[in-house]
A and B are shown apart, each in its own frame.
Chain A
Amino acid sequence: MKIKIGEKIYDIEIFEEEEEGKIKIRVNKKEFIFGEEKEKEISIPRVSLPKRNFSKKEILAPIDGIISEIFVQESNFVKKNQKVLTLSSMKMENELISEFEGKIKEILVKKGQKIKKDEVLIRLI
C-alpha cells in the first residue's frame, strides 16, 4: 500500500505477527510492532512516520523560471532567511531565502537551468 503525504510516497505494509494480537507495520522498510495496549497509547502517525519526514528541509521553486544566481555551495551552513539563489521568471527576479537553518546536503540545480514550479532546488540536513 502506498500513501502520499506532501510530495513523499510511503510504502506501507501491514502484517499480523505470530504472537497473538500483535501487528507489524513496515514503513519504507522500517518496522514497527504494535500490541493492542500500545496502540491505545501511541498514535500511529507519530510512530510510523518519523518527524523528520514531515519537516523535510527542501527549498522548492515557487514559480517556473531560470536559475540566475546560486549564492551557496554544498556543505555550506545556511541560516534562516539567508539568500540562497535567484530565480528569474519571465518578468521577475525572485530572491529565494531559506526557511531553515542547516547544512546544504545537495544543490540539485545549476546556474542557467530551467526549472518548474515545485521542483526541489536545494536539500538541507
Chain B
Amino acid sequence: MEIIKFEKIDSTQIFAKNLKTPEPWLVVLAKEQTTGRGRGRDFWYSPKGGLYFSVILPKSNIEDLQTLTIIAAFIIGKYIKEKFNLEPFIKLPNDVYLNGKKVAGVITENVIEVKEVKFSAMGIGLNTNIARFPKDLENTATSLKIELGKEVDNEKILKEIIEGLKEQLKVISE
C-alpha cells in the first residue's frame, strides 16, 4: 500500500485533489490537519493522535462511489465493534457515533465531466488517540482512547479500512 505521510498538513483531501497523477488506492496520511474538512463547509477537528487520511478511489460509476461512501461508515463501525467491542451507531449517510458522540466521518469528493468521474478521493477522519476535546466539542465528539481508556494502532486501522473499501468496491462494481 502506497502512503504519502505528513506530520502536519492543511487537509489530506486538498493535497489529494492537487495530485498530478493520482494513482488508485494511494493514501495521503497526516498526523495533524489544520483545516480538516467535513462535508460542505464543516470542519473536522484534527489534532495529533487522530487518524486522518484520504484515499484515491479508482475511476468508477458515480452511483457506485455513492454506495461506497455510505458503506465506508459501516466498515469503520464494524471494525470498531469487532476489534474493540464497542457499540457504534451509524448516522447516515456518513458519520459514526459512540455513546451519542461523533467518532468518525467520511467525505467523498469527485470531479466530474459530463457523467464521467475524472477524479475521486475519499477522506476519512477517525478520532483514535485523542485524549480530550476542547470545550465546544466535548459534548459532541469522542475518541476511541476516551471510550476504551487506551491507545489504538492507527496504521493497523488504516490498513484494515483500506482493505475493507477495496473489497466492497469490488462487490459493488460487479
Which one of B62-70, B136-144, B155-163 is at the A interface?
B62-70
A93 pairs with B62, CB closer than 8 A: no
Which A-B residue pairs are the 3 nearest by beta carbons?
A91-B69, A91-B93, A92-B108
Q: Which residues of B contact A53 (CB under 8 A)?
A: none
- Secondary structure class of chain B's binding surface, majority of residues: mixed
Known A63-B62, A91-B69, A92-B108; 7 more pairs at CB < 8 Å: A62-B114, A88-B39, A92-B65, A93-B40, A94-B112, A96-B112, A97-B112
Chain A contacts of B62 at CB under 8 A?
62-63, 94
Judge whether B110 and A88 touch: CB under 8 Å: no
Q: A63-B63, A63-B66 are in contact. Are A93 and B93 (CB under 8 A)?
A: no
**A59-77 with Cβ < 8 A to chain B:** 59-60, 62-63, 68
Distance in angstroms from A52 CB to nearest chain B CB is: 18
Q: Which of B102-140 contact A (CB under 8 A)?
A: 106-115, 118
Q: Does B35 contact A (CB under 8 A)?
A: no
**Which residues of A are in contact with B by a Cβ distance under 8 Å?**
59-60, 62-63, 68, 81, 83, 88-99
Main secondary structure of the interface of A (DSSP, over half): strand
Whether B111 contacts A95 by the Cβ 8 Å rule is: yes
CB < 8 Å neighbour of B112 from A62, A68, A88, A91: A62
**Inter-subunit contact A89/B66 (CB<8 Å):** yes
Q: Enumerate chain B residues within 8 angstroms of A90, measured Cβ to Cβ.
A: 66, 93
Known: A62-B115, A68-B40. A91 touches B66 (CB 8 A): yes
Interfacial chain A residues near B109, Cβ < 8 Å:
92-95
15 contacts between A and B (CB under 8 A): A60-B114, A62-B62, A62-B112, A63-B62, A63-B66, A91-B66, A92-B65, A92-B66, A92-B69, A92-B110, A94-B111, A95-B110, A96-B113, A97-B111, A97-B113
Task: Report the bound CA distance from A55 to B62 in whole Å.
Answer: 23
- By CB atoms of chain A within 10 A, which of B69, B70, B111 has the most? B111
- B80 CB → nearest A CB, Å: 20
Most A CB contacts (10 A, CB to CB) among B66, B107, B108 go to B66
Residues of B within 8 A of A98 (CB): 113
Tell me the complex Cα distance, A88–B110, Å: 10
> Could you tell me the distance between the alpha carbons of A99 and B111 in the complex, rounded to whole angstroms?
12
